[in-house]
Amino acid sequence: MTSSLDPLQLTGQVRTHLIKVPDLGCFVHAHVAAPFAALRRAAAGAGFDLVPASAFRDFDRQLAIWNAKYQASALPPAQRIGAILQWSAVPGLSRHHWGTDLDLIDRAALPPGYRVSLVPPEYAPGGPFHAVSEWLESHACRFGFFRPYRGIRSGVQPEAWHYSFAPVAEPARRRYRPALLAELLQKTAISGRDLILSSLDEIHARYMDAIDLP
């Protein structure tokens, strides 16, 4: 299997680029499974049970997340879209479609009954995932993983949990063009569609293409 992604894979409409990680029940890009397994082994040696709270996410799941957030907001439509984009991608523009990106937690640090929210306080000093966050900052790059959202270049807010496998994700990011998505969104029941389509180039540039490179 080639590591390059075709338009359907880039936009999360198919799973032909993925394999299942049996002991975790999630899907990742076929070229990500081995490096992630190596990262997990190294984390285990440091006392962490590194697992993804989220891995591959398809177009329909991202669409459900988007529409739920849009419909729950009372902001005017343009402001509503801007607020959502700080934390969630337009369906078809999510890096999670590629199977290269993982939202990571330390399962060993979970208190009984704890529900993971993936919010900054969980990774800040005193939060349950602060220690694993510090470890990942120092060691993830050795396995090809980096944080694309640090709040420096991208419009996406800093996400200490979000790690990406650069050898596959970077070619995908460079190949992506907004035209891949425009036709798909035209026939999709996405909230705020007209506003999204009218500013799709800008959304792509600010929220997908502009990342904090390793």
**Number of folded domains that form the chain:** 1
Domain range enclosing 145? 7-209
Within the chain, which residues score under 50 in pLDDT?
Answer: none
pLDDT, position 28: 98
Q: Which two tokens stand for residue 210?
A: 């502009």
The verdict on residue 189 lying in a domain is yes
The CATH number of whichever domain residue 202 belongs to comes to 3.30.1380.10
pLDDT, position 214: 83
pLDDT tens per residue, range 48-59: 999 999 999 999
The verdict on residue 108 lying in a domain is yes
3-state secondary structure the chain: CCCCCCHHHHCCCCCCCEEEECCCCEEEECCCHHHHHHHHHHHHHCCCCEEEEECCCCHHHHHHHHHHHHHHCCCCHHHHHHHHHCCCCCCCCCHHHHCCEEEEEEHHHCCCCCCCCCCHHHHCCCCCCHHHHHHHHHHHHHHCEECCCCCCCCCCCCCCCEEEEHHHHHHHHHHCCCHHHHHHHHCCCCCCHHHHHHCHHHHHHHHHHCCCCC
The answer to whether the CB of 78 falls within 8 A of the CB of 195 is yes
pLDDT, position 1: 57
pLDDT, position 3: 74
The verdict on residue 2 lying in a domain is no
Q: Which two tokens stand for residue 35?
A: 């490096």
The verdict on residue 1 lying in a domain is no
The verdict on residue 175 lying in a domain is yes
The verdict on residue 214 lying in a domain is no
